[in-house]
Chains A and B, each alone.
Chain A
């Protein structure tokens, strides 16, 4: 039995995903998960998609 996958949306931030083995992006490319928790980009501006690179902060700035 595999551990359950959990997903949490951070306000104005990424999705935190625990327990996933891989993430498939919007082009169908599979990215292996190599750390205990990963942050997925939700703002669409990350340069390391599907991973969050904190670019959302620059967008939020007035």
Chain B
């Protein structure tokens, strides 16, 4: 992909640096960085240099010090905002694996999946598919950065989970590829990054939080807590979305991605909670609050993203976030 269009002064500065310009790191304005599309896009672009990069940016821009400085500045603000939004965290319980699953169960936000199942029109379904393409076209890639930081059972279990995400040795089962095929079958652009200029700030935040947790070793607990809740809030919604696609008459190939995740994530939620989070906490008790932080963050941001779309589609309905 090529460098996205800037959305304001901060992402504009990142675009300029990527094209070889130099200058002082911009100061961040006061207020939420989660709802700031300009700041979230800037962070997404800086992280993207560590994933696929950009066709029009030299590879060694990845470690440009001023970009790393801006990344740190945004991460500090992002983390503070997430800490405030998820405080107070629950007390760590004896069975942390079960506790993480219970946190996922406590999700009582407005149901995006229910709307997609029963009410959404084809345009809204496509809108959803476009927003989600930002995370799903690099599905599981953030967590591969964490693998080298784990040991023992959590490492084995994450590797097992990732192997399934990456197709279990079969290219045609690679989850990111299944998502690209779903986009294509729905008449959308399956190209990596095709919709980056259109997606919302919150969508970018849901993608960025996974990278922030995965690329900072100190967040390894949070990354795995986030993963566990993400998996544990996926099976049932995927079943609903597959039903919605069927109701709207989308080609069967679109639903394949969601059908796969009904079964896969019913496995993954158990692996992530019981074989990754629980033994991680047993081996390193000081990581337990981080695991719960990541779990709470996942629920919070996914809730915001769902409410954001529902509000976009039904401005008359009051959606609590």
Q: Is A5 an interface residue (CB 8 A)?
A: no
The residue in A14, A57, A58, A61 that gathers the most chain B C-beta atoms within 10 A of its C-beta is: A57
Q: Using A10-B274, A36-B160 as known contacts, say yes or no to A54 and B265 having CB atoms under 8 A apart.
A: yes
Q: Is B269 an interface residue (CB 8 A)?
A: yes
Give which listed residue, B164, B168, B269, B271, contacts A54 with CB less than 8 A: B269
**Pair B270/A10 contact, Cβ less than 8 Å:** yes
- Per-residue contact bits, chain B 222-235, to A (CB 8 Å; 1 contact, 0 not): 00000000000001
What's the least CB distance linking A36 to chain B, in Å?
Answer: 5
Q: Chain A's nearest CB lies how many Å from the CB of B237? A: 10
Instruction: A58 to B240: give the CA distance in the assembly, Å.
Output: 13
B266 touches A35 (CB 8 A): no
Chain A nearest CB: distance from B202 CB in Å? 25
Provided the pairs A10-B270, A54-B265 are in contact, do residues A34 and B236 lie with their beta carbons within 8 angstroms? no
Q: When A54-B236, A57-B236 are in contact, do A36 and B163 touch as well, CB less than 8 Å?
A: yes
Measured between C-beta atoms, what is the minimum distance from A20 to chain B in Å? 13
Residues of A within 8 A of B173 (CB): 34
Residue interface mask B3-34, A partner, CB < 8 A = 1: 00000000000000000000000000000000
Do the beta carbons of B274 and A52 come within 8 Å of each other? no
Indicate whether B311 reaches chain A with its CB closer than 8 angstroms: no
Q: A3-51: which residues lie under 8 A (CB-CB) from chain B?
A: 10-11, 13-14, 16, 34-39, 47-48, 51
Q: Which of B199-242 contact A (CB under 8 A)?
A: 235-236, 239
Interface residues of B: mostly helix, strand, loop or mixed?
Answer: helix
The interface size of chain B toward A, counting residues with CB under 8 Å, comes to 20
Chain B residues contacting A35 (CB-CB under 8 Å) are 164, 168, 263-264, 267
Q: Which of B98, B239, B267 contacts A38 (CB 8 A)?
A: B267
Q: Other than the known A36-B163, A36-B168, A52-B266, what 10 A-B pairs have Cβ atoms closer than 8 Å?
A: A11-B98, A14-B266, A35-B168, A35-B264, A39-B263, A39-B267, A39-B270, A51-B266, A54-B269, A61-B105
A interface with B by C-beta (< 8 Å): 10-11, 13-14, 16, 34-39, 47-48, 51-55, 57-58, 60-61
Between-chain CB contacts (< 8 Å), 25 pairs: A11-B98, A13-B270, A16-B267, A16-B271, A34-B168, A34-B173, A35-B168, A35-B263, A36-B163, A36-B168, A38-B267, A39-B266, A47-B239, A48-B262, A48-B263, A51-B263, A52-B267, A53-B236, A53-B263, A53-B266, A54-B235, A54-B265, A54-B269, A60-B105, A61-B105
